[in-house]
Amino acid sequence: MRARQRLAISLILGLAGLPMATMARDKAAPPPAATRAQALVGFQRDLVSVLAPRADAMPLLGAALLARPLPNQPSSTNFHALITRAARADDASPAAQWARLTDCDAAARTCPNADALAALTAEAGDNAAVWLLKLGQDSANERSDDAREDLRRAAGAKLYDDYTGTALQALATTVGTLPPPPAAIDPGSAAGAWGVQVVMVFGVSGLLPAPQPGMQATARLCENGKDDPAIRQSCLQLAHLLEWGSSPLARSLGLHLRETLSDDPEAQAAARAEMTNLAWEVRNFAALSARAAGDKALAQHLLALARNGGTEMSLMLAALRDEGIPLDAPGASEAAAISPAAAAASTVTP
């Protein structure tokens, strides 16, 4: 399961390390590349400065996310100041509190931000992601009874949303506030300014430290408690919710729980097929994201999808459909219908 989770995350953020990785390479790169990297950082700082005076939540969220990876930001325009204002804005949504979870000091063991978590349990108690986040915290602190209650609350929630879609929307709607300086545009890219924007939106979102919704702790609790009828029922109920969740990571856990806990061989085979399809979708979206940096039409389209909002999953599926890429992996159903034991046996040489 852990390997599958890491695969989904690394693939979906295939473009995530692009800006900072570029900057790291450019320390020893030819002057034009180093100049472009510096111009990108300067452009990011300028965007934060222009957005910081706004009073509404979405621009402030975008400014906070843009400021998060920047070193040596002034105290008035750093992540802490901006995400605090975003969370207090009159039109604030739980997405700002979710981002505020990372406004903490991991070394001092103050993560996730306790005030933000308390606000989320009060304001977004129908979101399973909130309770899985708390489950991970309670499991780490060996509060097993609280973790079981978190599981029950998560299973009874209405949705799973880690607000990545809202973060992408905030970035996509703010990154066009200023035109990128010519020095930030790769002269070899046909995407021009749009390429800079798409790299900044999908790159910044991937570089940000994200709250961890306790996926591994949830998997352990469900697997270790599968003989407990109450835990088993909660985990199967949660699995269905996660399969329709906002992120590939949530969907992968939901499918894993269905395959692991279901007594129905057909349901297990279907879960394996859908897991294969999910890996296919994530790989293809990662390829699209990487290509968008040099493809103007694709960059414009991905930015438009991000500006429309939705979830990470809905954006990914819409992008694949619009590019004519099938959502089913070749041969997924046939391969997944073979049980793991039968597949292993078939590889043994007589």
Separation of alpha carbons 8 and 225, rounded Å: 25
- List the structure tokens of 188: 């070899």
Instruction: State residue 216's pLDDT score.
Output: 94
**pLDDT, tens digit (0-9, with 9 covering 90-100), for 335-348:** 566 544 444 433 33
Nearest partner of 14 among 330, 295, 328, 293, judged by Cα: 293
Q: For each of the chain's 350 residues, which pLDDT tens digit applies?
A: 333 334 333 333 332 333 333 333 344 444 577 888 899 999 999 999 999 999 999 999 999 999 999 999 999 999 999 999 999 999 999 999 999 999 999 888 888 999 999 999 999 999 999 999 999 999 999 999 999 999 999 999 999 999 999 999 999 999 999 999 999 998 889 999 999 999 999 988 776 667 778 999 999 999 999 999 999 999 999 999 999 999 999 999 999 999 999 999 999 999 999 999 999 999 999 999 999 999 999 999 999 999 999 999 999 999 999 999 999 999 766 656 654 444 443 333 32
Angle at 88 between CA 85 and CA 92, to 5 degrees: 105
Q: Are 243 and 267 in contact (CB under 8 A)?
A: no
